[in-house]
Chain A
Amino acid sequence: MNRFALPLGLFALLVVVLAISIRHSPNKGTIVSPLLGRAAPGFALPSLTDAQHAVRSQDLKGRWYLLNVWGTWCVECRAEHSMLVEVGHSGVIPIIGLDWKDEDDHALEWLAQLGNPYQAIGVDHDGRTAIDWGVYGAPETFLVNPQGIVVYKLVGPLTRESWTQEFLPRLPPRASAGL
């Protein structure tokens, strides 16, 4: 009996360790952003739709906003676009677009066809800002609070589920009443 106690104990320990690891493993290989709970990286980008004004992070201080990373080359972005339009039109929260490594005329055509949910769109031709934000695949959507802190990051298309389960509960009740 005694000679089995140690191996059995070790086996039980292994089971516990593996169970914890499986439980905490991120689903589908999504990488948790180190930006969560930290200040959102600053940016100043030319606007896609307004040649006069730049899109700047400092102009967004003091309010909630979504930063949505997209590109016309991105298939999943097309899938999420109708949901973005719905959120944008609800007026719950402004959506700032980050047009990532894209052609301006393609992007403008895309918006004309599918609708423009964005309050402003910054153009990131060389991908410099995307790297600052730790973007590794479009679409990605960041939720930033009035203090400029990244509260949540969604990797993959915005769906009704992720909107109601992940974004709305993190917003103050007054803002989230709309949708």
Chain B
Amino acid sequence: MCRSWLLMALMIATLSIRSAYGIDATSIADPALEARYLELTHELRCMQCQNESIADSPVGLASDLRREVRNMLLAGKTDDEVRDYMVSRYGEFILFRPRFSARNAWLWLAPPLFLLIGLGVAVRVVRQRAALAATDPEVPDDDGRS
């Protein structure tokens, strides 16, 4: 029993090490910069594998892009400048979190819009039912009298 717990703890420990240092062996001395580097490389898509971020991908282009991000951060570029550079080269597709633009505005706005429509319909239906119940003599009220 105790052994299996130990084994499990070990496995979890190795998993977390893997996710932090799996592919990317480099690190930046400044912890704040390192944090931004990790965040940025996790939100940029590996264009060759498409469902992995450049932080998770072992392919050559991903490591080139990581180096690019690192160099830009070390040169004092802001996160947005790094994103803008990548988008100007590879298009909006490289961002896992697409930005709000005129082209995709309806995608961002549709869910709250549908929620509002749904709420409106629900309120109307409830009101209609309530009005119906109040005027219908056939429906017994809570006391059971008609």
Q: Classify the secondary structure of B's interface with A.
A: helix
The answer to whether A34 touches B90, judged by C-beta atoms less than 8 angstroms apart, is: yes
Find chain A residues with CB under 8 A from B68 CB.
128, 131
A134 touches B90 (CB 8 A): yes
Q: Is the CB of A31 within 8 A of B88?
A: no
Q: Is A101 interfacial (CB-CB < 8 Å)?
A: yes
Interface residues of A in 26-67 (CB under 8 A from B): 29, 31-35
Q: How far is the CA of A101 from the CA of B63 in the complex (A)?
A: 12
Known A-B contacts A34-B87, A131-B89; the reply to A136 vs B48 at CB < 8 A is yes
Interface range on chain B (Cβ under 8 Å from partner): 10 to 19
Complex interface residues of chain B between 64 and 112 (CB less than 8 A to chain A): 64-65, 67-68, 87-93
| Cα A69 to Cα B64 with chains together (Å) | 16
The reply on A166 being an interface residue by CB < 8 A is no
Known: A101-B60, A127-B64. A134 touches B93 (CB 8 A): no
Q: Does B33 interact with chain A (Cβ within 8 Å)?
A: no
Q: What 0/1 readout, one digit per residue, does chain A (130-151) give for beta carbons within 8 Å of chain B? A: 1111101100000000000000
Contact partners of B91 in chain A: CB under 8 A = 31-34, 134
Interfacial chain B residues near A32, Cβ < 8 Å = 91
Cβ B88 vs Cβ A127 within 8 A: no
> How many angstroms between the C-alpha atoms of A33 and B90 in the bound complex?
6
Determine if B47 and A31 form an interchain contact, defined as CB atoms under 8 angstroms apart.
yes
Binary interface encoding of chain B residues 42-69 relative to chain A, with 1 for a CB under 8 A from any of its CBs, else 0: 0000011010000000001100110110
Give, as a whole number of angstroms, the nearest-CB distance from B8 to chain A. Answer: 39
A128 to B92, CA, bound (A): 20
Given known A33-B91, A134-B90, contact A127–B47 (CB-CB < 8 A)? no
B65 lies within 8 A of A131 (CB): yes
In the complex the two chains form, what is the Cα distance from A131 to B67 in whole Å? 11
A131, B46: Cα distance in complex, Å? 12
Contact B60 A34 (CB under 8 A): no
- Pairs across A and B, CB under 8 Å, 19 listed: A29-B50, A31-B91, A31-B93, A34-B88, A34-B92, A35-B89, A101-B60, A101-B64, A126-B67, A127-B61, A128-B64, A131-B64, A132-B89, A133-B89, A134-B91, A136-B48, A136-B90, A137-B48, A137-B61
* Supplied contacts A34-B91, A134-B90, 17 more A-B pairs, CB within 8 Å: A29-B50, A31-B90, A32-B91, A33-B91, A34-B88, A34-B89, A34-B90, A34-B92, A126-B67, A127-B64, A130-B61, A130-B64, A132-B89, A136-B47, A136-B48, A136-B61, A137-B61
